[in-house]
Amino acid sequence: MSNYDDFLSNKPKASNSKKKPSKDLVWNILTGVMLLMSLCACGFFFNLFSNPYSSINPFAPNTLVPPPATATWTPVALAATWTPTPTIEPTSTNTPRPTYTVEPSSTPYTISTATPIYTATPFLTPTRTPRPTGAPYSVSVKYIESTTFRADTSCNSLYVAGKVLDARNKPVVPGPVVKLGGGVPGKTLMPALTTLAGINRIYGESGFEFELQISPVSSSQSLWIQIYDQTGSPLSEQYKLVTYADCKKNLILVTFQQK
């Protein structure tokens, strides 16, 4: 029983050693601080990339200078279109023809004979031969379709064209002046249109052409055509033309023939 008594009498001794703080707590604190600093660094760099001119950027770039304004291109204006001066139609002057002088003719006479009776012989009265009158060129007209000579034309326009021939049916080159005047319903030629024979050789070496730029229309002798020499003297009568509202007759083909 002594051993049991000894066990009861021997109380366990209190431990004098204190428990040291764990090292894991320190590392946890350091890890949290590093995470916080990493988040701050990420926010700082994100702000710099988003706005390099931010006030927290110690190396902010210089402020960009805007580029100079580009000069505006100004188109050069085209020169004014030349407007032809209308040719004033010369006024024909009535030039009197020279007076025909009758040449003296021989007067028959008789030698007096022994016959005492004298018979008077009457004088012969000369007969004046009239000079031919009229212009040196005559006019002939045909009505055909304009595509006969020009395939690029259509029924949208009325044409007056032709040629000038001499007495041997050869083209007159250089050609005389050709004038087209008067008008048709919807088109008035005032002043008269003027061209030279030989400009448009589709109709021959002495060919000419007028385009009225109006659809074929019927008219009766309200349109006229005439030719003149280089001094303005008429070479033909003023010929009155008839027009038709027919596409098969939209080309009036005029031929001036020397007599």
Q: What is the CA radius of gyration of the chain?
A: 60
Q: Is residue 132 part of a domain?
A: no
Q: Is residue 233 part of a domain?
A: yes
Looking at the structure, tell me whether residues 52 and 141 fall in a common domain: no
- Helical (H) or strand (E) element with 162: strand 159-165
Pairwise CA distance, residues 129 & 162, whole Å: 36
- pLDDT tens digits for range 10-24: 555 555 555 555 678
Buried b (16+ CB within 10 A) or exposed e, 65-103: eeeeeeeeeeeeeeeeeeeeeeeeeeeeeeeeeeeeeee
Q: Which of 59, 80, 107 is the last residue of a domain?
A: 59
Looking at the structure, tell me whether residues 152 and 240 fall in a common domain: yes
Tokens of 60: 């902010």
Q: Is residue 119 part of a domain?
A: no
Tokens of 189: 């030629």
Burial tier of 151 (Cβ tally within 10 Å: 0-12, 13-18, 19+)? exposed
Tokens 């002594």 sit on residue: 2
What was the pLDDT predicted at 60? 72
Pairwise CA distance, residues 218 & 104, whole Å: 58
| Closest listed residue to residue 89, CA positions, set 183, 223, 227, 191 | 191
Backbone angles phi, psi at 234, to 5 degrees: -70, 140
| Closest listed residue to residue 145, CA positions, set 128, 133, 157, 132 | 157
Pairwise CA distance, residues 211 & 251, whole Å: 9
Q: Is residue 1 part of a domain?
A: no
CATH, residue 186: 2.60.40.10
Total number of domains in the chain:
2
Looking at the structure, tell me whether residues 50 and 157 fall in a common domain: no
Residues with Cβ within 8 Å of residue 33, at least 6 apart in sequence? none
What was the pLDDT predicted at 130? 42
Query: Contact, 234 vs 135, CB < 8 A?
Result: yes
Q: Is residue 251 part of a domain?
A: yes
- pLDDT tens digits for range 213-256: 999 999 998 999 999 999 999 999 999 999 999 999 999 999 99
Mean pLDDT of the chain: 79
Q: What would the mean pLDDT of 150-172 be, rounded to a whole number?
A: 94
pTM: 0.49
Boundaries of domain holding 246: 137-258
